[in-house]
């Protein structure tokens, strides 16, 4: 896929890894829409990148149909969808006080990460399926975000790990579902990145958190996620896989 002349939706694009990817996409001539929470910096980011902003709540299933429909209508077509929206909660299956993990919290994390991702992808794919294919038969690319916690979740990450493992698990099947339409589906599983809750951690603290990495032993930077995301869009053979972007880190139990 060629970025010049392509259109993209960035869900979670107001900050962090998704913002960095939107920035690179815009630099290469792509047209974009930023989707994020109403109270986010999405409007400012969209203005900076020459795009449009659409406030949304990814856990509002029907609302996402409307918001993404509006974004695609304004863009004209949709060729790239990047989704980094998500979050977790710190609870053990059975806590130290003997009480078990809140089922409501577990369900909320699954909904926020996994159910919302599937919904966003299915909406995006429905729009992409209407595109005229390029010379290589491609109509679009969807990129999701898991975590290395999907493979070696730490103590207290059971809900988050389950949700992110679900995203990784659906990637190949979704790619197979959509292959006849010329739509690719990929997932990036990052380690700790300097975004969100981890932003601003002192160097000493960051070194402790990343001590198990091979190299570099530091948190990832948003532009490093963006580099991989753009490469995925541009390479037709990148399909159906979850790629770790982690400096060789494997999470210890805690």
The sign one gets for the Cα dihedral 48, 49, 55, 58 is negative
Give long-range contacts, CB 8 A cutoff, 24+ apart: 52-56.
56/11
The SS3 of residue 152 is: helix
The Cα–Cα gap between 197 and 220 comes to 13
* Contact between 64 and 118 (Cβ < 8 Å): no
* Contact between 48 and 90 (Cβ < 8 Å): no
Cα separation values, 17 from 3, 23, 74, 96, 224, Å: 18, 10, 24, 34, 8
The secondary structure element, H or E, covering residue 165 is helix 158-178
The Cα–Cα gap between 30 and 51 comes to 10
Catalytic status, residue 160: yes
Query: Residues 160, 225, 233, 251: which is the catalytic one?
Result: 160
248: tokens are 């060789």
| Catalytic site positions | 160
């Amino acid at each position: 896929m060629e970025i010049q002349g392509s259109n993209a939706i960035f869900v979670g694009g107001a900050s962090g890894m998704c913002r960095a990817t939107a920035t690179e996409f815009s630099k290469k001539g792509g047209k974009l829409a930023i989707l994020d929470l109403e109270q986010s910096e999405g409007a400012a980011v969209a203005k900076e990148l020459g795009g449009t902003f659409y406030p949304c709540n990814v856990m509002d299933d029907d609302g996402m149909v409307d918001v993404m429909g509006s974004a695609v209508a304004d863009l004209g077509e949709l060729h790239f969808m990047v989704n980094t929206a998500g979050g977790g909660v710190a609870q053990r299956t059975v806590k130290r006080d003997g009480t078990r993990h809140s089922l409501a919290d577990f369900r909320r994390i699954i909904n926020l990460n996994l159910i919302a991702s599937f919904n966003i992808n299915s909406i995006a794919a429905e729009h992409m399926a209407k595109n005229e294919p390029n010379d290589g038969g491609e109509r679009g690319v969807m990129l999701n975000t898991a975590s290395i916690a999907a493979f070696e979740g730490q103590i207290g990450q059971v809900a988050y790990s389950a949700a992110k493992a679900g995203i990784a698990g659906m990637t190949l099947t979704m790619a197979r579902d959509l292959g006849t339409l010329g739509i690719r589906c990929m997932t990036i599983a990052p380690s700790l990145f300097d975004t969100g809750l981890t932003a601003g951690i002192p160097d000493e603290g960051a070194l402790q958190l990343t001590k198990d990495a091979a190299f570099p032993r530091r948190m990832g930077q948003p532009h490093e996620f963006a580099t991989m995301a753009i490469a995925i869009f541009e390479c037709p053979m990148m399909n159906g896989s979850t790629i770790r972007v982690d400096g060789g880190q494997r999470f210890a139990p805690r």
